[in-house]
Structure 1
Amino acid sequence: MREQQEASEDAVMTRIGQAVILLHAGDREEARNRLGEIWSEIGEEGDGLHRCTLAHYLADAQDDPGDELAWDLRALTAAEGLADRPREAVRAFYPALHLSLAADYVKLRRPEAARVHLARARAATAELSDDGYGDGVRAAIARLERRLATEPGQGPRPFPGQSP
């Protein structure tokens, strides 16, 4: 019975991966449709890792920044509910999740909210491995920090937890 459940969960992750390939190839609408279909199947009570992963990629597939923010908030909520997973694995999600939220708030012209999530992303980077993924997330955080620090009309501004 457990093997059947694990195989079923693997099938869900495989389907998510296939939709993400479409997303990265530029077919946002088809990716959004497939990811939405999986979301409908697993629902709000489905496996937390599936919900976190789905919501994170559904956010990336949205055309409206408000919808993108809503899905990224769902991803963060799902990650916070992953108490049954190894702690280290879950904490490694947080830099990217907070980075996504910061980027959403930039798109919505809410720089202060963006700075809060960017600071949380930066604080969580200790959980990232020293590999291509970790390096990419750290580089993306640095790029968004630079962008926000030189926002027109604002001048350089410190992030929460940094001195001016």
Structure 2
Amino acid sequence: MDDQPTPDPTMTRIIEAVQLGQSGTPVQARELLSTLWDEIGPTGDALHRCTLAHYLADLQDTAEAELVWDERALAAVADLTDERARQHHHALQVRGFLPSLHLNLADVHRRLGHTTRARAHLATARSLAEDLPADQYGDLVRAGIQHVDQALAAGSTHRLDSHPAAAG
């Protein structure tokens, strides 16, 4: 099989916008992703919706707005199939998305003071992360689980330094 993703102009635009946010222009990235969301719509391609909402959540100014986007990402993944994910890259599987999505929900619920919901999503993320490989992505998710767990134990509702938006 070819390791190269199938050309997908919408995914290319999502990735370009994410890179803008990571390079220090989060407002422009948020605007581009919001425009793309309007084009895709709430019933558009599940891979596009899940990816876009996952990254757009990190660009929000409030935890409440972030929660909306994290919930949209989780809802979209329910419509995503392994077959569709592999059209983008041969190694992608839906179950690989789930630990990160639940981790993000655990963290935003923690910051909102929703401890019970945070713990539930964290437990789900931890359980699902057991299936992740010992690679950079898997290590990142497992480290995130540990950070959120420690913050919950400390009763912290502050944004973690490891949160993607903390660098921006």
1:60-79 aligned at under 5 Å gives the runs 60-79=58-77
Where structure 2 has 5 or more consecutive residues not aligned to the other structure, the ranges are 1-5, 87-91, 157-168
| Counterpart among 111, 121, 125 of residue 125 in structure 2 | 121
Count residues with an aligned counterpart. Answer: 145
Deviation at 1:133, TM superposition (A): 0.8
What is the one-letter code of the residue matched to 2:124? R
Identity of matched residues, %: 49
Counterpart position of 2:111: 107
Where structure 1 has 5 or more consecutive residues not aligned to the other structure, the ranges are 1-5, 153-164
Contact persistence 2:82–2:93 (CA under 8 A): no
The separation in 1 between residues aligned to 2:154 and 2:34, in whole angstroms, is 37
Counterpart position of 1:54: 52
Contact persistence 2:82–2:94 (CA under 8 A): no
The separation in 2 between residues aligned to 1:67 and 1:78, in whole angstroms, is 17
Give CA deviations for 1:87-128 in whole Å, capped at 9, x if unaligned: 970000010000000111111111111111000100101231
Deviation at 1:151, TM superposition (A): 2.1
| Counterpart among 137, 141, 148 of residue 145 in structure 2 | 141
Point out the structure with max Rg over C-alpha. 1
The separation in 2 between residues aligned to 1:47 and 1:110, in whole angstroms, is 31
Give the TM-score normalised by structure 2.
0.81
Counterpart position of 1:81: 79
Answer 1 or 2: higher relative contact order, Cα 8 Å, separation at least 6. 2
The separation in 2 between residues aligned to 1:39 and 1:122, in whole angstroms, is 29
Give the TM-score normalised by structure 1.
0.82
The separation in 2 between residues aligned to 1:68 and 1:151, in whole angstroms, is 20
The separation in 2 between residues aligned to 1:93 and 1:57, in whole angstroms, is 12
Deviation at 1:84, TM superposition (A): 5.8
1:132 aligns with 2:136: yes
After superposition, the Cα gap between the structure-2 partners of 1:82 and 1:61, relative to the gap in structure 1 and judged at 3 Å, is same
The separation in 1 between residues aligned to 2:41 and 2:31, in whole angstroms, is 15
Of the structure 1 ranges 43-52 and 81-90, higher mean CA displacement relative to structure 2 is found in 81-90
What is the one-letter code of the residue matched to 2:143? A
The separation in 2 between residues aligned to 1:55 and 1:129, in whole angstroms, is 24
